[in-house]
Amino acid sequence: MCGILGIVSKQSVAKSLYHGLIQLQHRGQDASGIYLYDAKLQKEHLIKDTGYVHQVFDRNELENFSHNWGIGHVRYSTIGKGDKSEAQPFAASKIAVAHNGNIVNYIPLKRALTKKENFYTNSDAEVFQYYLNKRLEVNDDFASICTAIQEIYKNLHGAYSVVCIIKNKGIIAFRDPKGLRPLLYGRNGPFFHAFASESAPLNLYECETIYDLEPGEVMFIDQNFQVHKKILQQEKKTTCSFEFNYFAKPSSVIESKEIYRVRANLGIELGKQVLKKGLIPDVVISVPESGNPAAMALAHYLGLPIEAGLIKQNNANRTFILPTQKKRAEAAKKKWLSVNSVFKGKKVLLVDDSIVRGTVSKRAIELARLCGANEVYFASTYPPIKYPCFYGIDFNVKEQLISNNKTESEVARAIMADAVIFNDLSGLQKAIGTKDLCTACLDGNYPTQTDGKEELMSLREHDLALLETVYTG
């Protein structure tokens, strides 16, 4: 799961890309990159490195760029070693590309393509670059673009949203045929067009027109700012349900659904599960920050007080998307300050977005007990995660999932809770307002072919083992 941006304008886009990527930083913390193109002077510039947006780019330097087309990327590593060579965008020949998602059959596909082309990293973004460069080498009109993307749809199995620049021609954006990964389009007047993983950057740009690309849809903004679009291959929509529950920013709108309101709805559905279990807590406490909307809605629904018993440290970033278990555990220890008076002598209900490996939930419960809580219940707005994700969320090893082979009472014991409460699948669907969702991590029903998943899992385990060695050393 990453964040992507693309802009075509008459003005310099460097600063707009920078501020847009800041809006998407929550989607990836491993690396940041911007590719810039000056359509008038036919100049290009690529800046990318490991690190946060504010670490990689010099804001004063960006002031000097006149380039009026650009794409940007923030990376959350789900493949590779996470070094600079794998940072996006990638630029070669006439194409620069950035994408969000995972290609499940990437390894066998790359093995077959290596006979025709050289690949330099373990990033699946290079496969997109191959197909686009191959098909657009001679003709790069909209019909040829559609032909290239149809070939991608035919050969690549997985989840992806893509933005790319064709030098001296324009910008392309397209979404996989099932719409697993989000991608939105925005316009501010006739000479500013943008694409983004979420609506937040488009709101920042004051776009008056914002909408989601359809599954299997391609859009092309040419050098004359003319918009071309076509749905090439649309299948049953299965947007990732974890986007709504955790990944997206609360203020964002995806698939015409405000994320904050979805999470509040999840809190109400979770409140119903608390009542079913007959639990009567004294106080509700959110596990900040993605659990905040649900905790407030749950407390209101149950008529309970809500307190800020866990205070997120100012310098604490997202724990779940850190690459290794060692780093996640270390970050969890430093993530919050606890307020003793909120917990002492009370039965507390902690509310979070999910329980994946149990690292964060266990630490939150530990803090509650250290503060003197009598009983600690832990509630997850997301149902039990029992199956790996191959589509861009980094839990593709079944054995790492705490709910994989445990009952609810066994999960509770594992994280030291007196009880755990989960939303069920119907509650999740009701809260989001649709059944057109990917819930493969909950029920094992994968919406695409998953050939190549074993090799993908093996490569990820190998890379993570190397990373664990680096961080331990």
Q: Which residues are catalytic?
A: 2
- Burial label, 161 (beta-carbon count in 10 A; 0-12, 13-18, 19+): buried
Residue 334 backbone dihedrals phi, psi, to 5 degrees: -100, 0
Contact in structure between 127 and 85 (CB atoms under 8 Å): no
Residue 337 backbone dihedrals phi, psi, to 5 degrees: -105, 140
- Rg of the chain on CA atoms, in Å: 22
Element (H, E) at 37: strand 31-38
What is the C-alpha separation between 300 and 250, in angstroms, rounded? 19
Of 336, 389, 388, 384, nearest to 360 (Cα)?
A: 336
What is the C-alpha separation between 86 and 93, in angstroms, rounded? 18
Of 22, 16, 441, nearest to 249 (Cα)?
A: 22
Contact in structure between 213 and 173 (CB atoms under 8 Å): yes
Contacts of 390 (CB under 8 A, 6+ apart): 102, 104, 158, 396, 446, 450, 453, 456, 457
> Which one-letter amino acid corresponds to residue 103?
I
Contact in structure between 386 and 444 (CB atoms under 8 Å): yes
What is the C-alpha separation between 217 and 225, in angstroms, rounded? 18
Taking phi over 0 as left and psi of -120 to 50 as alpha, with beta for the rest, 179 belongs to left
Structure tokens at 274: 């608390």
Q: What are the CA-CA distances from residue 464 to residues 52, 322, 430, 447, 467 (Å)?
A: 20, 11, 36, 26, 5
- Burial label, 326 (beta-carbon count in 10 A; 0-12, 13-18, 19+): middle
Element (H, E) at 98: strand 95-103
